[in-house]
Structure 1
């Protein structure tokens, strides 16, 4: 059974969706942030750091780490610190295409397997009133890029090019391929899903 080194409820739900056997142990690794690194490099570094931090405590278990950022025009967007920042982010995405990049890392007996998946998301035009009303729901406040593709924000999304589950927080196809490459059985609990 693998360890998911993330407290994200979305990542937990996605692994449950495919019947993976796992437990959650949140990583305390410090995360890199900002625009000094390319988004793909940034999420790879953070995913590896998260997985390694938990693997150091549980070296006998495969550990999956993940990190997601949203990027546009060379700027990366993490979780907004407040409603004002959430509104600013969404206004920047209005009528434009941005990228969602997720780094995934699997640490198995000290060996690191990593990958990055990037999806292009196009928002339709949003009015200031629509953005304010959406931010007032509270949904954007703990999400990278200030929106949840699987939630109310779906009404603003014109198209998605690439992995949908990546935009939610974990690219499931890439995770299963990485596990295969690492020789890890995601279903060693016979597909019963999450265990605590």
Structure 2
């Protein structure tokens, strides 16, 4: 059975590879702003789950055309800070504003997942869920944050920070699942795979692969 990751995120791919999987990657190309705009007053969990479901749906046609047996996993992450849900900052200026609001405070990183099972070239089962992890940010100096934003890293990630990259210097700690902060929750993915009848251990690479 093929494991298909509906994401171009190198961090998500790295988490899955380190956890014993060898995913195929199919990028969804979903217009996240359009999906969010179509929702009526969603909760944070509903928002990230809807975005993940849209990404899974977008790649399903490609997967059905190439794999008879597969699981498609799609994810979306956003940060809730001060009651506002934010994704990737579009510019360095927005990233700087985000960090001005985040530093010295805590935020909630929400990750939504959708898993779709394909059997015999047909979509058969689907499961979705969301994970919330509290992130405690350091009171970094303006000079440190200017240097971090200048690297370009925070422009590419939800909430304008990473846990597994340069942004890790400015995270004091987390309460919850670290893999969900990186982009894909291993515990949640395992549970959703089980809901569609797939054991994660059956997807692990063999030791010789």
1:115 maps to which residue? 129
| Conserved? CA contact 2:48–2:110, under 8 Å | yes
Determine which structure has greater relative contact order: mean sequence separation of CA pairs < 8 Å that are 6+ residues apart, divided by chain length.
Answer: 1
1:160 maps to which residue? 174
Q: CA deviation at 1:38?
A: 2.1
Q: CA deviation at 1:189?
A: 5.9
1:22 maps to which residue? 23
Output one character per residue of 1:62-95: Cα deviation in whole Å (capped at 9) or x when no partner. 2111000011122111111111111111111011
User: Equivalent residue of 1:120, what SS?
Assistant: strand
User: Equivalent residue of 1:62, what SS?
Assistant: strand
User: Equivalent residue of 1:20, what SS?
Assistant: coil
Output one character per residue of 1:130-150: Cα deviation in whole Å (capped at 9) or x when no partner. 211111122211011111111
More deviation in 133-142 or 86-95? Answer: 133-142
2:10 maps to which residue? 9
Q: Residue 189 and residue 115 in structure 1: after superposition, are their counterparts in 2 closer, same or farther (change >3 A)?
A: closer
Q: Which runs of 5+ in 1 are unaligned?
A: none
1:39 aligns with 2:44: yes
TM-score (norm 1): 0.90
How do 1:1-196 and structure 2 match up within 5 A? 1-31=2-32, 32-33=35-36, 36-59=41-64, 60=68, 61-108=70-117, 109-186=123-200, 188=202, 190-191=204-205
User: Equivalent residue of 2:89, what SS?
Assistant: coil
Distance 2:141 2:30 in 1: 38
Q: CA deviation at 1:20?
A: 1.5
Q: Residue 190 and residue 161 in structure 1: after superposition, are their counterparts in 2 closer, same or farther (change >3 A)?
A: closer
| Conserved? CA contact 1:91–1:131, under 8 Å | no
Q: Which runs of 5+ in 2 are unaligned?
A: 118-122
Distance 2:29 2:139 in 1: 38
TM-score (norm 2): 0.85
Q: CA deviation at 1:181?
A: 2.0
Distance 1:49 1:106 in 2: 11
Output one character per residue of 1:26-73: Cα deviation in whole Å (capped at 9) or x when no partner. 113332347943221110001111112222333443211100001112
Aligned residues: 194
